Amino acid sequence: MIAPTLLSLALFFSCFEMSTAIGSLGINVASSDSTGTCRTTDSWNEALQKAASYFSTIKTYAVSDCDMLANIAPALNENTGVKVWMGIWEVDDAHYAAEKAALSTYLPTISKDSVAGFSVGSEALYRGDLTPSALADKINDIRSLISDISDKDGNSYSGTKVGTVDSWNLWVNGTNAPAIEASDYVMINAFPFWQYQTAANQSHSLVDDVMQALKSIQSIKGDDDFYVSIGETGAPTGGYALTTDQAPNTVDNAESLFQEGICTLLAYGIDVNMFELQDEPTKALATADDGTTSDVERHWGVYDTDYSLKYSLSCDY
């Protein structure tokens, strides 16, 4: 199933100047631990150490939720090998103000070398939380905020990338161009599971979705060195499936998606942030587009709750 995908991807990428290096892996980390408790500095320390074994970046969602930036800051100063994509939750004014206050208070306590970039919104367009131009305004607002903040060594955050993350189909839709235009980078989320893909087709679907989003983003940003990566992907290893013929929620299947799909993207020099570091057994039930609910959101960790790795994260090439 993978052969036609590789061929079409090769033809596609020949049109753009892509990095010749293999892409690097990152991992999404929730602000709560696997018991549903807000991560303390000790818990962030452990998460950063466990992440560092396989990932060069971690990706977070909201700097003020669970006092995320306050609590991770001392841990980042001890674990200098991993950079953070800082998520900024943008939805309501009070929450957004709290996010900005957390940035102003705690960015001066860490090194700018610990920050990979600032992601304004996570699937905000998918949920319809903001119009594309309202999201663009917030991206510009955060860029302006961070350029007035210096890190613990007196270096300005000015120049650190500010962008956004959304589902692949939102980037294919030209209506969302203003958010891309305002961004220094864009991340693409793509989950074969939420598209009810079979085991046989899941990697084809992943690479095809990413390819469509990349093509659309490149048509807006041109073929310069605009950074595009995968914000979230992966497969669950447990919980109820949405349909009977979709890929099974097993460790073997998640490993197949990793080897066939994620490793293919990495081979083309695309950085991939997997979803997510640990299982979250207390997470709320998930609702699919068709209204079906499932406990599947609790089973996406590459590690289980005891930090036991579920399958190998090294590509067989």
Ligand X SMILES: *[C@@H]1O[C@H](CO)[C@@H](O)[C@H](O)[C@H]1NC(C)=O
Q: Under the rule (CB under 6 A), what is the footprint of ligand X? A: 173, 175, 201, 204-205, 208
Looking at the Cβ atoms of 48 and 247, the one nearer to ligand X is: 247
Is 123 in the active site? Answer: yes
For residues 82 and 48, the answer to whether their CB atoms sit within 8 Å is yes
Q: Which one is catalytic: 232, 260, 276, 280? A: 232
Looking at the Cβ atoms of 143 and 204, the one nearer to ligand X is: 204
Is 232 in the active site? Answer: yes
The full 3-state SS of 80-145, as one line of letters, equals CCCEEEEEECCCCHHHHHHHHHHHHHHHHHCCHHHEEEEEEEECHHHHCCCCHHHHHHHHHHHHHH
Looking at the Cβ atoms of 60 and 205, the one nearer to ligand X is: 205
Give CA separation, 161 vs 144, 184, 239, 247, in Å: 11, 5, 36, 36
User: Per residue in 256-292, is it b (16+ CB within 10 Å) or e — as a string?
Assistant: bbbbbbbbbbbebebbbbbbbbbbbeebeebeeeeee
- The radius of gyration computed from the CA coordinates of the chain, to the nearest angstrom, equals 19
Nearest approach in angstroms of CB 173 to ligand X is 4
Beta bridge partners of 273: 26
Nearest approach in angstroms of CB 204 to ligand X is 5
Q: Which two tokens stand for residue 284?
A: 């709320």
* Burial of residue 3 (number of CB atoms within 10 Å: 0-12, 13-18, 19+): exposed
Looking at the Cβ atoms of 183 and 205, the one nearer to ligand X is: 205
Q: Which one is catalytic: 17, 78, 99, 123? A: 123
Q: Which two tokens stand for residue 51?
A: 């992440």
How far is 268 from 14, CA to CA, in rounded Å?
A: 11
Nearest approach in angstroms of CB 257 to ligand X is 13
Nearest approach in angstroms of CB 222 to ligand X is 22
Looking at the Cβ atoms of 173 and 312, the one nearer to ligand X is: 173
For residues 117 and 160, the answer to whether their CB atoms sit within 8 Å is yes
Looking at the Cβ atoms of 164 and 205, the one nearer to ligand X is: 205
Nearest approach in angstroms of CB 294 to ligand X is 20
Nearest approach in angstroms of CB 276 to ligand X is 23
For residues 115 and 157, the answer to whether their CB atoms sit within 8 Å is yes
Catalytic residues, which ones?
Answer: 123, 232
